[in-house]
Structure 1
Amino acid sequence: MTDIATNVPEAAADGQMASRSLWATALLRLRRNKAAMASLCLLVIFIFAGVFGPMLAPHHYAKVYPDFVKVPASLEAYPREDAIIPEIESVVTRARLDLGSVELDGSTLRVEANSSREIDPRVTRYFDRSDLFSNARVVEQSSNGRSIVLAADVERLHFIFGTDANGRDLLARILISVRISLMIGVLATGVALLIGVLYGATAGFLGGRIDNAMMRVVDILYALPFTFFAILLVVFFGRNIVLMFIAVGAVEWLDMARIVRGQTISLRRREFVQAAEALGVNSGGILRRHIIPNTLGPVIVYMTLLIPKVILLESFLSFLGLGVQEPLTSLGVLISEGARNMRGAAYMLLYPSLALTLLLFALNFLGDGLRDALDPKDR
């Protein structure tokens, strides 16, 4: 008897330790979903790229390089050697010298030149006048002055993703566009989340005529075309990022409100809500403590699916020219520019489209994984 009595609490304790909360179970199920976890890792990479990428990029996203307009993507530095040699020949010819050997070591150029008469060391001015060379200097000159060795610095730039139609680094433009698109998606979703959850929970909990009146307002707002609404805002207030948050978030809360309202209607007659009412908890306290926390599962899932929708809407508006203003950019603006230059520079459309596609896939797969993990019918 003693052994049995002693073992019962230990078994109960073991059982208590083995039990998991609903959120812990959902996290465990999410970890088993390989597609969702891979999407989460990719999304984290995008977030780091958007936050820190523009600061770590080799070029500023707004800096223009007039000599490198629409240069294709390459791991080789620009200007290339086949462009440097003709420029050297032109400079040496203007200086009335005969070109000897040319050596290019990274960003340092070494030139040997000859002449039938003594060479004036001030010939370095011809190199400094060129757009490619700077800090020209005499390294060595023969005793008779007819042979000279010059050195000059060559600014060699790397454009891994190429440049756009204005000569700006496309990689830096994509990084800043990821930041802007994610910022618009998250903040506009936050606005929709705040308005939709409060509005839907209030309508579903109060019910009756108040619910009907509040839902008719939602139906009226549904009838307003989003593009027309955004154009009106642009006409009255101009184009800026804050306006994009307001325009997108003020429309996308409607779906959130309906989802939360449906969840609230199914929760308001549950036993724990009736117990709170019997204890004298007011309506605001019941909404804060019982209704809204129990709707977080569907809300989180819808939020992960709303962010890519908002990013697509922003890209659509930017494609129409109603989005962010220069020098800032977004993925929609880059795709619009790439579509206009698609024949001559297909990479301008390829890389922004690939970035947007990967970002949307990551958000959608993560949303699907969260939906499966938080589904109470599938436990």
Structure 2
Amino acid sequence: MSDTTTCAPPPIGRSLWQDARIRLLRNRAAVASLVALALMMLACLVGPLLTGHSYDRVYQDYVRVPGSLSAYPKAEALPGAVQRIATRIRATPSEIVAQADRVRLVLTAQRPIDQRLLVYFDRSDQFGTPVITANEQEGRRLSLEVPIERQYFLFGTDSNGRDLLTRTLIAGRVSLAIGLLATGVALIIGVAYGATAGYLGGRIDMVMMRIVDVLYSLPFIFFVILLVVFFGRNFILMFLAVGAIEWLDMARIVRGQALSIRRQDYVLAAEALGVSTGGILRRHVIPNTLGPVVVYVTLLVPKVILLESFLSFLGLGVQEPMTSWGVLISDGARAIQATPWMLIFPASFLVTTLFALNFLGDGLRDALDPRDR
């Protein structure tokens, strides 16, 4: 008989990216930040469809009302609202009885009431189309049933009577889109430019980096003002302007990584085998710079959002009726004493996003550090 021995399978090693994922998942702050960002983006994408309000809908009867979990109009506000409408109809209201979904009242006047003027109830944000239940004294006394139009403003309304919750979520779409798109522009330009300069080296590297130094000397605000003067204010211009400046830091980071990678054995072997310069950049140089680049991207997104908020605060950003967190914070700062909720809610969303991105960037930095393997 011959002894048969079974060989154990060789152990499977883990790559740097697998180790980085495991370390990232062990970082509670980074995971919590990732969940918070996912929920924030989901709320900004889906939330405006569920609030029941359009971001540009103006409620003239609900200007600067505070946030509330209960519906508007409040019961104590109904008599005053009826009185204002009755004044426009040139009648006197009486026997006002507010129920859950309607108001019963009697209008009296010295002359017959023009029933066409009852449309003022329908034009109001608080009431629907009235129904005449009794017509007495040759039209000088009308008994009405007026439906109540209930509205919920969880975050309150702004100075124009627009729902602040809807506008905050729409502003999140704009701010996050500008942050991601501008970062994408900076990523594409900076990685390609820095990797090319670092790998080629020599005079080409010197000339390319001197161009970067010249662009660094241009004031950012002056550059944006010039773009606004020549091309006008629009959403696309915002992320192009920001991305066209922020790629400079990305290029320097990638260039530093490429200078060390070009001396590695696998790059020298690829050169000896006759691989083209573009092939070496695509297959070896750029993929091996992604670790620091990913970390920098998570830190660049909040920087871009702050830049957009700053530009919007100065009036150079997105324009009405579209909005961003910077625009809302600017409006809230001007009315902080009378309506503090106009500043608190958009600022809370912005601060939460910035903290989450910074914690995620710290977690990625620790996870992708090869010295921690």
TM-score by length of 2: 0.90
CA 1:92–1:312 in structure 2 vs 1: closer, same or farther (change >3 Å)? closer
Corresponding residue number in structure 1 for 2:16: 22
Corresponding residue number in structure 1 for 2:72: 78
Give 1:86 deviation, angstroms.
3.2
Instruction: Verify: 1:205 aligned to 2:216, yes or no.
Output: no
Corresponding residue number in structure 2 for 1:228: 222
Is 1:239–1:325's contact at 8 Å kept on the other side of the alignment?
yes
Corresponding residue number in structure 1 for 2:99: 104
Instruction: Verify: 1:129 aligned to 2:154, yes or no.
Output: no
1:244 to 238, 248, 263: 238
* C-alpha distance in 2 between matches for 1:317 and 1:98: 51
Corresponding residue number in structure 2 for 1:349: 343
Q: Secondary structure at the match of 1:68?
A: coil
Is 1:318–1:324's contact at 8 Å kept on the other side of the alignment?
yes
CA 1:3–1:165 in structure 2 vs 1: closer, same or farther (change >3 Å)? farther
Structure 1 residues 325-355: Cα deviation after superposition (integer angstroms, max 9, x where no partner): 1111111111111111111111111111111
Q: State the superposition RMSD in angstroms.
A: 2.8
CA 1:89–1:4 in structure 2 vs 1: closer, same or farther (change >3 Å)? same
Q: Which moved more, 1:359-368 or 1:49-58?
A: 49-58
* C-alpha distance in 2 between matches for 1:92 and 1:325: 38
* C-alpha distance in 2 between matches for 1:327 and 1:89: 32
2:360 to 352, 361, 366: 366
Corresponding residue number in structure 2 for 1:258: 252
Is 2:47–2:169's contact at 8 Å kept on the other side of the alignment?
yes
CA 1:351–1:97 in structure 2 vs 1: closer, same or farther (change >3 Å)? closer
2:272 to 275, 278, 284: 278
Is 1:138–1:149's contact at 8 Å kept on the other side of the alignment?
yes
Give 1:149 deviation, angstroms.
6.7
Write the letter of the residue equivalent to 1:357.
V
Is 1:127–1:133's contact at 8 Å kept on the other side of the alignment?
no
CA 1:340–1:158 in structure 2 vs 1: closer, same or farther (change >3 Å)? same
Is 2:157–2:164's contact at 8 Å kept on the other side of the alignment?
yes
* C-alpha distance in 2 between matches for 1:278 and 1:217: 31
Write the letter of the residue equivalent to 2:8.
E
CA 1:151–1:224 in structure 2 vs 1: closer, same or farther (change >3 Å)? same
Structure 1 residues 267-305: Cα deviation after superposition (integer angstroms, max 9, x where no partner): 111111111111110111000001100111111110011
Give 1:188 deviation, angstroms.
0.4
* C-alpha distance in 1 between matches for 2:92 and 2:189: 75
Corresponding residue number in structure 2 for 1:302: 296
Give 1:308 deviation, angstroms.
0.3
TM-score by length of 1: 0.88
* C-alpha distance in 2 between matches for 1:244 and 1:98: 53
* C-alpha distance in 2 between matches for 1:97 and 1:318: 48
Identity of paired residues, percent?
58
Write the letter of the residue equivalent to 1:343.
Q
Instruction: Verify: 1:10 aligned to 2:8, yes or no.
Output: yes
Is 1:95–1:126's contact at 8 Å kept on the other side of the alignment?
no
Structure 1 residues 8-43: Cα deviation after superposition (integer angstroms, max 9, x where no partner): x3152xx12xx3222121111111111001100110
Corresponding residue number in structure 1 for 2:183: 189
Is 1:197–1:257's contact at 8 Å kept on the other side of the alignment?
yes
* C-alpha distance in 1 between matches for 2:96 and 2:64: 31
Q: Secondary structure at the match of 1:71?
A: coil
* C-alpha distance in 2 between matches for 1:91 and 1:60: 25
Corresponding residue number in structure 1 for 2:160: 166
* C-alpha distance in 2 between matches for 1:237 and 1:200: 29
Corresponding residue number in structure 1 for 2:208: 214
Gap regions ≥5 residues in structure 1 = none
